[in-house]
Amino acid sequence: MIKHAIVLLALAIIQLSNAGRVLFAQPTSQSGAASYYADAFNGRKTASGIIFSNKKFYAAHKTLPFGTLLKVTNRSNKKWCVVTVVDRGPYIKGRIIDLSKAVADSLGFTLSGTAEVLIEEITIANEQTLLPPVARRLTFPYSWCGTWSGELLVYDAQKLKMKIPMILYINPTIDSTRWEWMIQYDTIKRHYELILDTATNVYAIDEKNGIVIPVGLFNNTLVSSFDVQDNRLNAIYRFTDGGIEFIINSASISSLQLCVGELYHNEHIPRVGSYSVSSYQEALLKRE
């Protein structure tokens, strides 16, 4: 019995057992039609025993073992995602795979209902060539494809000032080093891109206007710090089981106060500069 410890995508971490399975010389690869689950299936037990959720990257296949990881590519737009087989189906002639609505949204076929796809089984032997390096090490951004929405709460020092509808779209593009990172505040859309440097594991947000902001990834948390006119901003995206937590605060650069350190226990305390934080914003974004 060979057990594969799956650490790619915290969607459904399952230890695979190949007992009783016919091992093929080449991993499974199929082309055909994909459909997606109706919302009525939410909360139902799948054939594997896992409770189904349309917000997770789950799939149904007629024969592949439960826990199999598949790369699913929409042939029309080249978008792709990694999914976990947890159920049996589809049972409609001509279809090779059923996907959760979250996957269908990421692949861009929720309106059409079906799409022609290529499915490729991910194994220890082929993941080096099938997936970019970052997908083999991190759950971000691969397990966060899709549309996320919530309310942005804007505070000043005294109280909550306003609530603004916020939507974040995270989707792969044809270029594997760039992801759609579109932020919508109320009706205002900002068409950004997330840049992945797989060689150095460095990230950046390209605002598509000549401005590129480096961001750091720490334990599934994106962090950036930047200045705009007289404001110094710190932005955080924290990716959790409960959704995406977004936090941003700002301080006036002109509010800089310098404190000169004194001698303390025979040590010279370095000078410290501080800023008065004047604004705080937060949002909890849930998958649509």
For 192, the domain range is 142-287
CATH number assigned to the domain comprising residue 235? 2.40.128.20
- The answer on 152 and 117 residing in a single domain is no
Indicate whether 65 belongs to any domain.
Answer: yes
- Determine how many CB atoms are found less than 10 A away from the CB of residue 30: 14
User: Alpha-carbon distance 3 to 126, whole Å?
Assistant: 16
**136 in a structural domain:** no
Considering the domain architecture, whether residues 87 and 191 belong to the same structural domain is answered as no
Distance from C-alpha of 231 to C-alpha of 245, rounded to nearest angstrom = 22
Alpha carbon distances (Å) from 107 to 83, 115, 182: 12, 9, 16
Distance of CA 248 to the CA centre of its chain: 19
Count Cα neighbours of 185 within 13 Å in the Cβ-side half-sphere: 11
Q: Which of 132, 122, 70 is nearest to 96 (CA)?
A: 70
User: Is there a domain that residue 137 lies in?
Assistant: no
The CATH code of the domain that includes 40 is: 2.40.40.10
Q: Are residues 224 and 109 in the same domain?
A: no
Contact 206, 212 (CB under 8 A): yes
Task: Tell me: do 41 and 150 sit in the same domain.
Answer: no
- In the chain (288 residues long), the average pLDDT of successive 10-residue segments reads 32 30 56 95 91 90 88 93 90 95 93 96 67 55 82 91 96 78 96 81 91 91 94 94 92 90 79 89 93
Quote the number of domains for the chain. 2
Name the 3-class secondary structure at 264: strand
Residue 99 has which token pair?
């996907």
CA triple 238-239-244, angle to 5 deg? 80
Q: What is the pTM of this model?
A: 0.59
Is 166 found in the same domain as 109?
A: no
Last residue of a domain, one of 95, 111, 131: 131
pLDDT (0 to 100) of residue 199: 55
Distance CA 230, CA 256 (A): 11
